[in-house]
Amino acid sequence: MNKPYVIGVAGGSGSGKTFFLKCFLEHFTPDEVCLVSQDDYYIPVAHNMTKEENKLYNFDLPTTIDADLFERDISKLMNWETVYQKEYTFNNPDIVPRILEIKPAPIIIVEGLFILHFKKIANDLDMTIFIEADENIALQRRLKRDLAERGYSNEDVNYKWHNHVVPAYKEYLLPFREQCTKIIANNSHIADDIIKVTNEISQELREKILS
């Protein structure tokens, strides 16, 4: 079979990657596209930490990711092999992680902060999409998410933002911005703006890959 077409979707925290991907995936069937997320390749550390240590731990470094396993699983999908990976639960001990079954497809989406920093992964990407948002908007999105979903306080979120998130974005992602195939500014709170962009990209791919 032909080699799958691999799309990298990168963006900093609060850029709106999750919403972009949700809209994008709605254009395809599970037989047409699969998604592999960097988040599911964090090296487990929670069982060795106190709550306070967890708050201070910097998850925004490439060394927190099992890059070798991430790369191997992408290679498997590119060779039309199914991948099984334990879901990452953001160190929440109350959640029992699922085993994710990722089946190969003609279009593979690889998403995450460091996908352009990891050279082996970057070399596999046929298209790269960079999603960005103004820093103040991204921070407000991060505050909203972490307060609601992960139980962090405003103080915790702001500490991580200024000491971990922004420095990592500037060092490990921003330098690759100009090399990306498409750059999408996502400062709007209007869903139609992102839906329109995903319509255009999905149509382009359908004509190029699936026709």
CA 8/CA 108 separation, integer angstroms? 8
DSSP state of 43: P
Find where tokens 């003609």 sit.
106
What's the alpha-carbon Rg for the chain, to the nearest Å? 17
Are the CB atoms for 11 and 130 separated by under 8 Å?
yes
> E strand or H helix at 156, and its extent?
helix 154-160
Where would I find the beta strands (DSSP E) of 12-153?
A: 33-37, 83-86, 99-102, 107-111, 127-132
- Sheet architecture: strand order including 107-111: 33-37, 107-111, 5-11, 127-132, 182-185
- Exactly one of 39, 66, 156, 193 is catalytic; name it: 39
Distance, in Å, from the CA atom of 172 to the CA atom of 58, rounded to the nearest integer, reads: 14
Tell me if 111 sits within 8 A of 91, measured CB to CB.
no
> What does the angle CA 171 – CA 172 – CA 178 come to, to the nearest 5 degrees?
95
Q: Please confirm, yes or no, whether 39 is among the known catalytic residues.
A: yes
Q: Please list the active-site residues.
A: 39
